[in-house]
A and B are shown apart, each in its own frame.
Chain A
């Protein structure tokens, strides 16, 4: 599991890669923590780009839930983008589709968050 990040003006795109399960969810939370703190400080929103996430277990879903709660408490916001079909199905079955805003592509998510962010994304 790795976590890459890209900043587009006032939106941070975080992209986990691989499988997120009971074995690595705590490490993922530790990787996520500084980004959440930074987002709160800078007033940025977060897009979780799940295009390279192959699988997520209940423990991984809990990480997303905790991150969303923390973001909300910090007046920030987390949205989901580009889920692979398997992950999208798991979100649906776990009813996480009712908790998170999800967008087909990262650009769609950025557009929903901020015109400045999507403009930055389009500029490359």
Chain B
């Protein structure tokens, strides 16, 4: 499986400002320290190899949208945040006019997870088949509501694609176009659902907008089973642990610390920090990644856990 991240920011999309870009360019020039580059390629290599990620890139931008390439002809994607717009452009380019079959899996229908759908190009292409899976009974209502007047100029009923809503039962496996999909209920305002995807002996867990109460041992054990030996866990690490269990308790999100601990207990292989706090800039997220890797080192048992921070454009092969 290949996992491709189209939207990684939590709650609301964010964009770099003109000042942010200016500061990155100025710092990069300063770091180059008078070096001369014979080509753009040389400058590119310098940027990639010698500058911090937070200086030469950005974590981005779009709200949640994560694609899983399963090796079949069909598309699999989690959530329709604003990252659904570039994902849709990717689908259209790749299909070259052929209608696509797209399986969407909704964690929940809070706005940051559905806002990209009105801008999802394939929804406007006749012959495209979109199956929107979820465990809530309000998924279709939410999708229609955000395109109802006066919120959006194109009503849901005007979309050209064949769009179907499928309700999944959590806690059991579903075979969907060659992929085994198991939803799990999570703690979030109005509930959310994580998904475990299994195909070809590989497993990916998408678990966002999920708070973990440390005092609830049964819940912890349930998530350890859900994450068990996963090759990749995409995890809501929006807050620090201190915030998550104090001023932001019951806000429905988790922390990098809990992500590492659950993955270690489950013997998962790769943790991807996801649903970044919109107030954090690139430096802050890179700092959290560095600290999370250090925490993993400090607490490592017999098996190392790879830790990454999601960014718009990240691709991970499992």
Contact = CB atoms under 8 A, between A and B. Distances in A.
* Dominant secondary structure at the B interface: helix
6 contacts: A58-B255, A61-B257, A86-B298, A89-B294, A93-B256, A93-B294
A99 B257 contact: no
Contacts, number: 52
Given A22-B217, A89-B298, A94-B240, A62 B292 contact: no
Interface of A: 22, 55, 57-59, 61-62, 65, 69, 86, 89-90, 92-96, 98-99
Nearest to B295: A93
Given A61-B241, A62-B214, 13 more contacts: A58-B258, A58-B261, A59-B215, A65-B242, A86-B298, A89-B295, A92-B291, A93-B291, A93-B292, A94-B241, A94-B257, A95-B241, A95-B243
Residue from B242, B243, B258, B298 having most chain A Cβ neighbours under 10 A: B242
Interface residues of B, number: 21
Contacts of B295: 89-90, 93
A57 B298 contact: no
A74 to B, nearest CB: 17
A58 B214 contact: yes
B34 to A, nearest CB: 36
* Dominant secondary structure at the A interface: helix
Given A86-B298, A92-B291, A93-B294, A22 B220 contact: yes
Contacts of A86: 298
Nearest to B242: A95
Interface of B: 214-215, 217, 220, 240-243, 245-246, 255-258, 261, 291-292, 294-295, 298-299
A93 B246 contact: no
B298 A58 contact: no
Residue from B215, B241, B292, B298 having most chain A Cβ neighbours under 10 A: B241
B227 to A, nearest CB: 15
Contacts of A93: 256-257, 291-292, 294-295
